[in-house]
């Protein structure tokens, strides 16, 4: 599965694709310099675990680029609440 990031400077998304099929999408908007708000996650039910894979990719991006995350999307919020090891990137 490939997960790519797309960003226009104001908003962006991480898109998961496997065998030319979209497996999932996680969208965000920039909230000033160095902060993003994850506002939506959708996963294709045929691809189990795609949401957490995309979130891990967002967390990796945040760590590598000194970005903090505000998880407004219910899925992302739930995962941050459950997973202590990724909370270092919370705003």
Confidence tier at 85 by pLDDT (50, 70, 90): very high
* Torsion sign across C-alpha atoms 58, 36, 71, 14: negative
User: Whole-prediction pTM value?
Assistant: 0.95
How is the beta sheet containing 35-43 ordered, strand by strand?
A: 2-7, 11-18, 21-30, 35-43, 68-71
Among the four given CATH numbers 3.90.1150.10, 3.40.630.30, 3.10.450.50, 3.90.1150.150, the one describing domain 2-83: 3.40.630.30
Span 67-76, average pLDDT: 98
Domain range list for the chain = 2-83
Q: In the numeric block, which tokens belong to residue 27?
A: 């969208």
pLDDT confidence of residue 21: 96
pLDDT per position as a tens digit, 56-65: 999 999 999 9
């Amino acid at each position: 599965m490939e997960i790519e990031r797309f960003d226009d400077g104001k908003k962006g998304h991480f898109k998961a694709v496997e065998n030319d099929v979209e497996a999932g999408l996680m969208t965000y908007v920039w909230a000033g310099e160095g902060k993003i708000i994850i506002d939506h996650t959708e996963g294709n039910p045929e691809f189990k675990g795609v949401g957490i894979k995309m979130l891990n990719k967002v967390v990796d991006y945040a760590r590598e680029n000194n970005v903090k995350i505000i998880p407004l999307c219910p899925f992302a919020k739930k995962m941050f609440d459950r997973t202590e090891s990724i909370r270092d990137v919370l705003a």
